[in-house]
Structure 1
Amino acid sequence: MSHKPAPASGNNRVDTIDSLDGLHADLARRHRATQSSGTAVPDTVVAADLAALERDGYVILDNLLTETECEEIRAAVAPLLDNTGRNTFEGRLTQRVYSVLNKTRACDRMVDHPRVLALLDRLLLPNYLLSQLQVINILPGEDAQLLHHDDGMYPVPRPRPPLSAATVWSIDAFTQENGATVVLPDSHHWGDGRQPADGDTRVKAVMPPGSCVFFVGTLWHRGGANASDQARLAVTAQYCEPWLRPQEAFTLSTTRDTVRVVSEDIRRMLGYSIHPPFIGMVEGMHPKRLLDTPS
């Protein structure tokens, strides 16, 4: 993976990396980038999803998981739900599970769902990364979360193309009363000086179990208040451009044994990939070589 500068030419031309055909090429040799499973989604479906996303900043994808799959996820994550949030943003009455991939395989199917990857393939550069994965259980009595946009930590002026995207999956049905995610349509177009106001349109992402709301990182949104008498279980996966630092340091928090058993899509999104020409290398080589040796 290492790149050696070309020798100086006789005409005193300065060689730069821009002179490489490989600036945006795959230099990984035997560990070349793999094709996303999003390519299996029909173009007409992706075009409709993308049109809604570009117009509103979000799109609801209904019934991607079966009720049986949702039951399996509930059973797998229930033992992991213990502590509630440490502040008002996490939610004093909200349970969150971090380092999910090390604790259960039940959430993998949401991280690498083809319908989601098909959109990411068109929004972000190849070899985009998983930025965060959480299980979120909003308990009865929880207040609404502060409004925010997910890529606000990146100091790039707005308006601009999104640097990230997110999904929130309804493992339990999202209703008007139980804390459904609240989105502000068209807010992904706002500039730096624009803040949410009382008169702005706000939409609750009401959806059946096994659905997800997909939105770009520039969209203002929040977790809703839970005024019901039942908890509301969700899983959220966030993704970012391959040249950005993810919110979770997955290369530190995820064991190599886990990396070996997840799908190729997830492995790539954890950082076992190269963003051309050589961002993400280890010892000048593709990081997947680390999986060839014992942990």
Structure 2
Amino acid sequence: MISIEEFDARMEEQGWVIFESAIPMAIVEQMREDIHKAYAICRDYQIKNGIDQDTSYTVHHLIGQFDSFLDCLAAYPIHPLIERYFGGKFILNSFGGAINTRASQSYAQRVHRDIRSYSGDTALLLNTLVMLDDFTADNGATWMLSGSHKAEAKPDDEYFRAHAEQAIAPAGSILMFNSNVWHAGGSNITDQVRRSVTPMFCKPFVKQQFDYPRALGYDRGAQFDESLRQVLGYNARVPATLDEWYQPPARRMYHSNQG
């Protein structure tokens, strides 16, 4: 693990950092299997709702589908650095993934950033990516434009390709980056798949892309340790009835320490 000083410097200057071999391989190997099963589930919905043209080989909201993805979150060794980035508590915003093959084409391979409104120095959203296979130059390792979190304007494709660099690391590594960084999935020119999952985190007052506590079950929150319960969003829920609203502090759905 890098020092706090090096972490701060890389996130300030580059906007991204890699933590090599951070997730236990037993979890990585199970996620390799489960992501294909999850894709079959997601693909049915993509086709059913007519959005299958630009979403091939992508998966979304894996928490609640298979336990290996929950195990991945529980094993994250960088929670203190994520909290440092946000300057306080954080929750899971989304948890997707991709299966990059020689034939795959999706929105993730276009130059983009994953925050819709440029947030400047305000930390609202943070990307992470867990490499389920080795990320190499040939199999489509993600392209990162260092320093691009400091400017709002999108670079043109020619500038991006001339200055971006690939995030190359072994399976089990975590790529973390400021969500203002412009990036793009690479093209896989090998005959082997390149898989990844992409947990994204946000300030607790930012709306989750998916209601993970509801999907997992409100009662299930008590089964998780304090750290995982916080990350999943159990401490930052929105009341839906007056009875849920009028509760003593210890039982409120949105806790007072969530910012």
Q: TM (normalized to structure 2)?
A: 0.79
Q: Is the 8 A contact 1:108 1:262 kept in 2?
A: no
Matched, 1:195 2:155: yes
Q: Is the 8 A contact 1:168 1:237 kept in 2?
A: yes
Q: Is the 8 A contact 2:15 2:147 kept in 1?
A: yes
Shift, 1:151, TM fit = 1.4
Shift in CA distance, 110/67, structure 1 to aligned 2, threshold 3 Å:
closer
Runs of 5+ consecutive residues of structure 1 not aligned to the other structure? 1-40, 291-295
Matched, 1:68 2:26: yes
Structure 2 CA distance for aligned equivalents of residues 130 and 242 of structure 1: 8
Shift, 1:236, TM fit = 0.8
Aligned to 1:165, the other structure's residue is in SS state strand
- 1:84-116 per-residue CA deviation (whole Å, 9 max, x = no partner) reads 4635653x3x141x3422122212343244532
Q: Work out the percentage of aligned pairs sharing the same amino acid.
A: 22
Aligned to 1:178, the other structure's residue is in SS state coil
Matches within 5 A, 1:259-274: 259-274=221-236
Kindly name which structure, 1 or 2, has the bigger radius of gyration based on alpha carbons: 1
Counterpart AA for 1:241: K
Q: Is the 8 A contact 2:142 2:186 kept in 1?
A: yes
Matched, 1:243 2:205: yes
Counterpart AA for 1:151: I
Q: Is the 8 A contact 1:101 1:258 kept in 2?
A: no
Runs of 5+ consecutive residues of structure 2 not aligned to the other structure? 254-259
Structure (1 or 2) with the greater helix fraction: 2
Indicate the larger mover: 262-271 or 179-188.
262-271
Aligned to 2:37, the other structure's residue is in SS state helix
2:62 to 91, 95, 100: 100
Give the structure 2 partner of residue 146 of structure 1: 110
RMSD: 2.7
Give the structure 2 partner of residue 29 of structure 1: none
Give the structure 1 partner of residue 144 of structure 2: 183
Shift in CA distance, 148/208, structure 1 to aligned 2, threshold 3 Å:
same
Matched, 1:127 2:89: yes
Matched, 1:224 2:186: yes
Structure 1 CA distance for aligned equivalents of residues 157 and 98 of structure 2: 27
Shift, 1:287, TM fit = 8.4
